[in-house]
Structure 1
Amino acid sequence: MTDTCVIFAGGDPVKSETVDKAILENAFIICADKGYALAESLGVEADIVLGDFDSLNYTPSGDKVMCFPPEKDDTDLMLAVNRALEMGAKRIVIYGACGGRIDHMIGNIACLALIAENGANGTIVGDDDIISFHMPGEFSVPYKEGFSLSLFAYSREVKGLAISGAKYSVQDCTLTDSVTLGVSNEIIPPAAKISFTEGRLLVIQSRL
């Protein structure tokens, strides 16, 4: 069992300064397909490398490599997420999962939904975006200089939404999946506090 798992995926690479070195120190590292090249470029050693390796264009060698056929139901990132959840990870941080094809990006967000549904905390971290997915409850989003804060309903409705510590605060708001009400808020340092009672919520911090 591991508390924290870091996954490197095959989307847009991230800069070295984007990666939280403190998290890496005690995390189990999984590379999904081309994420192996990203980890190597950052000097990070993987504990598991998995995928069909169609994006990496070669199959790594070694006993830590898990090969899958290209014709499969899950994306390489979803395979990695499922592996992390099977290991008991409660915190999953994903690098290299932003940018690229829109269908892949939506699939990556689905991976965050699966993580949240399994009671774990998942975050996709890119150079210009930080994405997290939340089930009902209360949480905080730390201030990050130069980044906005946007909230989207990932269910028909998000009810009982409250936001404090931000330029635009609300109490007992209902956010639906067909409005842009939650786009481009601003966090007041040190953090925004968010809570809601029903639904599923997608939180995105984007570089301005």
Structure 2
Amino acid sequence: MTDTCVIFAGGDPIRPETADSQLIENSFVICADKGFSLAQDLGIEPDIILGDFDSLKYTPDSDKMISFPPEKDDTDLMLAVGKAIEIGAKKIVIYGACGGRIDHMIGNIACLAMIAESGGSGIIVGDDDILSFYMPGEYTIPYKEGFSLSLFAYSQKVEGLKISGAKYIVDNCTLRDSVTLGVSNEIIPPEAKISFTDGRLLVIQSRL
């Protein structure tokens, strides 16, 4: 079993070039509800299809399907994340989880928090946005041409924050959840380096 899982969700679809075909080929693939349609459009065969299928509008006829009732505690994406963690995935890449309803988008970010709190690495990849979530430690964020770099505290504060390899650098900064200090930085190629000692950090790269 691979330690990498790719999840297709039911948000805005992605262009074929956004999907990392080599990564997908070597990963366990889960489709969450309407994410099955996205995978089909990209010619990708999933290992598991799950959800209540209210967004897909039909229940797939497949022995890989796991059906849930519409009245449930978790979103379809969170169910998929739970399944990925259950099978031992340490890296989870999510496509089709950007855009659409704001409440769904906030819920999708909560899925990234769940992955990080479980000791894994999670990332949401869209055509115009890339979201990742971090617990205290040291991390590298690769440069992506035409994208900004924004940091948000996903706790009351993020302490001991250091940023290098970017237009605006900081050393031992405290980033609070009620400020916009971390918005719209720029990575200097090839990468930015981020570290912090306490809190939870949401990183968003957005197309300029």
TM-score (norm 1): 0.99
1:108 maps to what in 2? 108
Does the alignment pair 1:37 with 2:23?
A: no
Q: Aligned partner of 1:152: which letter? A: F
| CA distance, structure 2, for counterparts of residue 66 and residue 125 of structure 1 | 24
Percent identity over paired residues:
77
| CA distance, structure 1, for counterparts of residue 105 and residue 55 of structure 2 | 15
1:69 aligned counterpart, secondary structure:
coil
1:26 maps to what in 2? 26
Structure 1 residue 25: deviation in Å?
1.6
| CA distance, structure 2, for counterparts of residue 62 and residue 53 of structure 1 | 13
Q: Is the Cα contact below 8 Å between 1:2 and 1:87 reproduced in 2? A: no
1:69 maps to what in 2? 69
Q: Is the Cα contact below 8 Å between 1:149 and 1:187 reproduced in 2? A: yes
| CA distance, structure 1, for counterparts of residue 23 and residue 171 of structure 2 | 34
Q: Is the Cα contact below 8 Å between 2:94 and 2:124 reproduced in 1? A: yes
User: What is the 5 A alignment of 1:110-125?
Assistant: 110-125=110-125
1:2 aligned counterpart, secondary structure:
coil
2:200 maps to what in 1? 200
Instruction: Detail structure 1 runs of 4+ shifted over 2 Å in the superposition.
Output: none
| CA distance, structure 2, for counterparts of residue 149 and residue 40 of structure 1 | 32
2:110 aligned counterpart, secondary structure:
helix
Q: Aligned partner of 1:154: which letter? A: Y
Cα deviation digits, residues 64-110 of structure 1 (max 9, x gap): 00000000000000000000000110100000000000000000000
1:183 aligned counterpart, secondary structure:
coil
| CA distance, structure 2, for counterparts of residue 61 and residue 67 of structure 1 | 11
Q: Is the Cα contact below 8 Å between 2:2 and 2:26 reproduced in 1? A: no
User: What is the 5 A alignment of 1:1-208?
Assistant: 1-208=1-208
Structure 1 residue 22: deviation in Å?
1.5
What is the root-mean-square deviation of aligned Cα atoms in Å?
0.5
| CA distance, structure 2, for counterparts of residue 95 and residue 21 of structure 1 | 12
| CA distance, structure 2, for counterparts of residue 145 and residue 128 of structure 1 | 11
Structure 1 residue 21: deviation in Å?
1.0
TM-score (norm 2): 0.99
Q: Aligned partner of 1:194: which letter? A: I
Cα deviation digits, residues 1-56 of structure 1 (max 9, x gap): 43100000000000000001111121000000000000000000000000000000
Structure 1 residue 62: deviation in Å?
1.5
| CA distance, structure 1, for counterparts of residue 22 and residue 168 of structure 2 | 32
| CA distance, structure 1, for counterparts of residue 78 and residue 25 of structure 2 | 23
Cα deviation digits, residues 140-192 of structure 1 (max 9, x gap): 10000000000000000100000000000000000000000000000000000
Q: Is the Cα contact below 8 Å between 2:153 and 2:201 reproduced in 1? A: yes
| CA distance, structure 2, for counterparts of residue 20 and residue 187 of structure 1 | 22
| CA distance, structure 2, for counterparts of residue 13 and residue 62 of structure 1 | 22
Q: Where does structure 1 lack aligned partners over 5 or more consecutive residues? A: none
Q: Where does structure 2 lack aligned partners over 5 or more consecutive residues? A: none
